[in-house]
Amino acid sequence: MSNHRIIEVCLPARKADILSYRLPDAAFVPLRGTRVVVPIRNRIATGIVWQTHAQEPEFVLKDVIKVLSEEPVLSEHSLNFLEWMAAYYLQPLGIALHEALPAGILNAENLDQTAVSENSKKTRRKKADEPVEAQQSEQFISTLNPEQLTAFNAISAAISRKKFQPFLLHGVTGSGKTEVYLRAFAECLSYGRQAIMMVPEIAMIPQIIRRFQDRFGDSVAVIHSGLPQKKRVRNWIDIKKGRVKVVIGTRSAIFAPVQDLGLIVVDEEHDPSYKQGERFFYNARDMAVVVAKMTNIPVVLGSATPSLTSYFHAMNRHYTLLEMPYRVESRPLPEVQIVDRKPKTDGALSEKRGSDKTPYWLGRELHAAIAGNLERKEQTLLFLNRRGFATYIFCEDCGHVFRCKKCDISLSMHKINEDDQSLSANLATPLQKSDGRLVCHYCGWHIPAMPVCPVCHSHNIKAAGYGTQRLFEDISGLFPTARLARLDRDEAASPKKLENILKAFSKNEIDILIGTQMTTKGHDFPNLTLVGVVWADISLNFPEFNAAERTFQLLSQVAGRAGRGEKPGRVIIQTMLPNSQAIQCAMRHDYKGFYENEIRNRRLLDYPPFSRLIKLTLDEKDSIIAETYIRQLAAWIREQIIINKIKTEVIGPSPCPIARLKDAFRWQLLFKASGISAQRHTGELLTKYCEKELAKAKFLRIDVDPISFL
């Protein structure tokens, strides 16, 4: 028997699942999950040992260069989870590994785990084997209301039994879901186990981390992509060593290397940010349920507006439904008023409001409410899910609309001034102060504003529509003494700036906050009493089957920011579709009414949760090649589905709603499978085709359980 060892190594970001190497005779035989340095082509790379076995190689293999450490960086559970995840989402194992590990763990060939861990250990007050006790603050010892107590008792029982049980915690905004989470975490930590708290976006981290640190001290670590690499690696290792018990993070927290997991909480479980939108299209909320099942622990999905799929599972007893229908201390939900902004029969909306010149986007009701709030020294939130100054630019003489030269998208106008330079960071050419640009929000291509019309050479160029920048400018003119701030992706370009804006608003240092959907994510501002939804119809017009669901959730969530303190809240929704079911149900805070209507429509159209979807997207520089290729693929897959008797409907091919993006023409196929078995078999056919055509099909992307079709 030869002493040679064949080592199967997975390399991150590689499309090949695993590669084989030879371990020299004198080398230490590494355990599964250990880091090794191996040659690949004309360079070296660090990978993870996936398998080892003793046998004569059938062909000449390259030697492993170095085994970096004896201790595996990934546990057996983590390896099994990544294998399952890669198979389900039809992705190479190397892509899954790339998502799971911080870059510093593998990129630094000489990374000394012990040194890094020992240095960070000084900042931790608790030893790994000590149970963490919650701080007995006044807030902690406050009495739970009956609904909170019922929810906590159910979760606590599952924690004590260490039993897989998925809970859907449906609690209205301000009902005290976070307090239930905190109590559940304290219960989990009392058994010496670790727990994961997931939130949809980095914007929510500062507020939630303060709550958890107040309760659990220094036994809290944060994991998200916005952290500096060294800090992310340090936190990752501290979690793996058990030096911290509470992990808080965005979707990447699902990969945290916890050793004794006892609980997972997914807050705002409905939020689409849990779905990765590029490279590896996984849904962290769904994976949280998978991890909980693999480790036999409870998982809590919490939301005031649960996804229809999660609520459907609860209605069919796949999840345990916990309901909290009232706000804490019996505070009322905000009063919601719908304002119809359709043009009247006597002509288009006028900018004149008596003797005052008011922007056309601002109705009388909202204008008066903002003024009243300022007089009472209460705070206002204006919500518009569009950034920039204007949504499109056109020539008033010939009607030409300025579009991106690389994408099938109209350009948005952005103004740049001394206090608004953050947009420059996202563009190839930095913008100057007092400058303006027409910008593509998809690829970043831009031109100066205002340009000469390329069709008729007119200088009569106009800006139409409005974004958060325009709202900010208009409100500044109407209320010059008000303290304003803007919260969107341009303004809050860094986590620190985002935190500063939220902190200032929380301290009443801002009177009016103008923002996009970043403002809807679970924030708690006690003095915020007025929410104005400038245009409620934007998301309703998206060409997606879940557009109504997304609209209802956005409106309900942003409305829920009002009146969370002692003062009652008020919400004004401006819309041109006042009779929309989503808008009417949001006005009444009627989740169940919306669910019953929408689930009926989904059943009729056979969309999730009554089917399982796969989206295949093709990008190609040549439009003729793109169309020819996708039609050939569609014909082949239809034939194979018939031959193999798979219960899957093929929809398309058709151009994507955004038909050209970053100089590539885009086509898509949608597969509507009758269930998970049909979905899996359809996926196997797709991966078989993609592997066969890999050399020329690098532009094919497979998205299992898609939530966006743009």
Stated pTM of the model: 0.88
| Residue that wins the pLDDT comparison between 633 and 540 | 633
Residue 589 pLDDT > 50, yes or no?
yes
**Residue 355: pLDDT over 80:** no
Give mean pLDDT, residues 213-239. 89
Is the confidence at residue 403, as pLDDT, over 70?
yes
**Structure-model confidence comparison of residues 102 and 270, the more confident one:** 270
Side chain identity at 105, as an amino acid letter? I
Is 204's pLDDT higher than 80? yes
Q: Is 11 helix (H, G, I), strand (E, B) or coil?
A: coil
Region 434-441: what's the mean pLDDT?
A: 73
In tens, the pLDDT along 509-539 reads 999 999 888 777 767 788 999 999 999 888 8
Whether the per-residue pLDDT at 428 is higher than 70: the answer is no
What's the pLDDT tens digit per position in 175-202? Answer: 999 999 999 999 999 999 999 999 998 8
Number of H helices and number of E strands within the chain?
Answer: 18, 29
SS3 helix, strand, coil % of the chain, rounded to 5? 35, 25, 40
Lowest mean pLDDT among 290-304, 314-328, 620-634: 620-634
Note the pLDDT of residue 107: 62
Does the pLDDT value for residue 1 go beyond 50? no
The dihedral over CA atoms of 615, 621, 624, 626, expressed in degrees to the nearest 10, equals -20
Average pLDDT for residues 327-349, to the nearest whole number?
78
Residues 159 and 191 sit within 8 Å (Cβ to Cβ):
yes
Q: What is the mean pLDDT of residues 68-81?
A: 90
Contacts 24+ apart (CB under 8 A), 395-401: 395/453, 395/455, 395/456, 395/458, 395/460, 395/461, 395/462, 396/458, 396/460, 396/461, 396/462, 397/453, 397/456, 397/458, 397/460, 398/453, 398/455, 398/456, 398/458, 400/453, 400/454, 400/455, 400/456
Identity of the highest mean pLDDT range in 120-134, 347-361, 434-448: 434-448
- Same CATH topology for 5-111 and 332-388+467-598: the answer is no
| DSSP at 276 | -
| Weakest mean pLDDT among 99-103, 317-321, 348-352, 560-564 | 348-352
| Predicted pLDDT at 667 | 92
Q: Which of 12-26, 521-535, 557-571 has the lowest mean pLDDT?
A: 12-26
CATH number 3.40.190.10 given to 5-111: no
Instruction: Note the pLDDT tens digit of each residue in 239-270.
Output: 999 899 999 999 999 999 999 999 999 999 99
pLDDT at 435: 53
What pLDDT is recorded for position 119? Answer: 40
Strand bridging mode 298-303 / 165-171: parallel
pLDDT more than 70, % of the chain: 86
171-180, 203-212, 422-431, 658-667: the lowest-pLDDT one: 422-431
Question: Fold for domain 132-330?
Answer: Rossmann fold (3.40.50)
Q: Is the pLDDT of residue 492 over 80?
A: no
User: Once rounded to an integer, what is the mean pLDDT over residues 207-234?
Assistant: 88
Cα separation, 674 vs 697, in Å, equals 27
The residue-averaged pLDDT of 317-336 equals: 93
Per-residue pLDDT at 698: 54
- Read off the DSSP letter of residue 350: P
CATH of domain 332-388+467-598: 3.40.50.300
Reply yes or no on whether the pLDDT at 4 is more than 70.
Answer: no
Ranges 313-327, 618-632, 635-649, 686-700: which has the least confidence:
686-700
From the list 433, 400, 384, the residue with the least C-alpha distance to 575 is 384
In this prediction, residue 433 carries a pLDDT of 38
Query: Does the domain formed by 612-704 have CATH 3.40.50.300?
Result: no
Cα pseudo-dihedral 576, 580, 582, 588, rounded to 10: 90
Residue 131's pLDDT is 53
* Confidence bin at 490 (pLDDT 50/70/90): confident
491 or 260: which leads in pLDDT: 260
**What pLDDT shows up at residue 709?**
87
Question: Half-sphere exposure (CA, 13 Å, Cβ side) for 333?
Answer: 20
Query: What's the confidence (pLDDT) of residue 127?
Result: 44
Q: Is the pLDDT of residue 88 over 90?
A: yes
Q: Write down the pLDDT at residue 565.
A: 83
Q: What is the mean pLDDT of residues 78-98?
A: 93
**Amino acid present at 39:** P
Please tell me the least confidently modeled range out of 245-249, 276-280, 388-392: 388-392
Mean pLDDT, residues 155-174: 95
Domain boundaries along the sequence of the chain: 5-111, 132-330, 332-388+467-598, 390-465, 612-704
Q: What percentage of the chain has pLDDT greater than the value 90?
A: 48
Q: Average pLDDT in the 104-133 region?
A: 48
Residue 568 CA neighbour count, 13 Å, CB half: 7
What is the average pLDDT value for the chain, to the nearest integer?
A: 84
State how far the Cα of 672 lies from the Cα of 669, in Å rounded to an integer. Answer: 10
Residue 662 neighbours by CB distance under 10 Å: 15
Mean pLDDT confidence for 379-398: 84
Could you identify the residue written with the tokens 């952005």? 414
